[in-house]
Amino acid sequence: MPTARAGVRSPVLVLTIMIFASGASILSTDLYAPTLPHLPAYFGTDAATVQLTMALNLGAYALAQLIWGPLADRFGRRGIFVLGMGAFALTVVAAALSQTIGQLIVARVLMGAAASVEAVLVLAVIGDLYEGEKSAKVFAIYGMVISLVPAAGPIIGGFVFEWFGWRANFYLLAGIVVLVFALGLVRLPETLPTAERTALRLREIVVGYGQLLSRGAFVSVSLTLGLAIGAIFAYLTEAPFILIDIHGVATRYFGLYQAVIVLAFFIGSLVASRVVARIGVRRLFAVGVWSGSLSGLLVIIAVAVGETPATLTAAMSVFAFALGPLFATAPVLAFERIPDQGRGMSAAMLSTFEMGGGALGALFVSLTPQGTAWPLAICVSGSGLLLLVFGLLALRPKWRDTPPAR
């Protein structure tokens, strides 16, 4: 593990708690995903309406971070973490108790808003503790560990659904979130010194976000992450219907296909962590951009020749492997041109681009005709092409050589 900046006694403990929080947030999607094809019949609705529980959850997740970020800069990381995780637990219980699809949609929206606190704080806390290539290595390690959750989540969710029903997955998630909440309350130290905290003024918040949006390199890097996440969540939203409804994969086995894709991302992150010190952050980012763009085309090829669960999974696995270097380096490049103060706002904006992309990807496949894999293929390949465009813009020498703002 790279050495952290001075001031925090247990950086490994801090990172561990952040990993647990991220794992709980990821499980709010991955435990739930295998049940999606079964909910239209349960609630007497259609697949598109059920898929809104994914898309709107991600939209709330994206937008709420714009609030969590300034709060974390003003009041510190620890208090906001405890507040957010407590709200997360309550919304999960509300989802489990939903009696109509409308209630479930509302609960999922509130859940996304609460769960997003971890996304802001992971980026901000790693930024508090590490710099440069050390930061990139930590992001890669973080990505590898976190990738185990979406590998196991759908498998667990599929079996829990078949044994106990869809509500049981939410009760299981509620127990996990409560444990993370308690761990943060008891053991999480503060990583933001009082001297580096910023005032909570609406005008300054608006101006601060405006300044971030005016930085071309920051926006371009953020868009690469948003496009990558958009492709992934398009898959997470549509794949249960493609594999279970169209190709007849048993619900309890759906997670095995996703586990292969997650393993590919894990390997990509492992490779990134090993080579970043040798080739540098920028070159590794370029590798992620080019490989992600080209591999995205494999999905549309797989569908064009007549996809099977195996070929679709293989194509998405190559795409996921290519994203390992991108996710290890893009946050480092995004933070490189912003001042240390206001890192929570910067992390919020970066993560809003990410999850906003995820929401758009999920919404795209929700609003397009069902019963075919073409919407997914178009979304993934289109995201890959745009990923190349914005990745090359982010690496322009004009922006690369601009000194950091202060």
Please report, as a single letter, which amino acid is at residue 393.
Answer: L
| Contact status, residue 350 vs residue 305, Cβ threshold 8 Å | no
What pTM was computed for the model? 0.80
Look at residue 5 and tell me if it is in a domain.
no
pLDDT tops 90 at residue 342:
no
Selection from 77-81, 175-179, 396-400 with the highest mean pLDDT:
175-179
Grouping H, G, I as helix, E, B as strand and the rest as coil, residue 211 is: helix
Look at residue 406 and tell me if it is in a domain.
no
Instruction: Provide the CATH number for the domain around residue 88.
Output: 1.20.1250.20
Residues 354-358: what's their mean pLDDT?
Answer: 87
Owning domain of residue 46: 11-190+200-398
Write phi, then psi, for 44 (nearest 5 degrees): 65, 45
Confidence of residue 104 (pLDDT cuts 50, 70, 90): very high
Grouping H, G, I as helix, E, B as strand and the rest as coil, residue 307 is: coil
Q: Transcribe 100-168 into DSSP letters.
A: SHHHHHHHHHHHHHHHTHHHHHHHHHHHHH--HHHHHHHHHHHHHHHTHHHHHHHHHHHHHHHHH-HHH
The total of structural domains in the chain comes to 1
Task: Please provide the average confidence, as pLDDT, over all residues in the chain.
Answer: 86
Look at residue 303 and tell me if it is in a domain.
yes
Measured in residues, the chain has a length of 406
The reported pLDDT for the residue numbered 9 is 62
Look at residue 6 and tell me if it is in a domain.
no
Look at residue 95 and tell me if it is in a domain.
yes
Look at residue 207 and tell me if it is in a domain.
yes
Look at residue 195 and tell me if it is in a domain.
no
Look at residue 138 and tell me if it is in a domain.
yes
Q: Copy the structure tokens of residue 395.
A: 């690496």
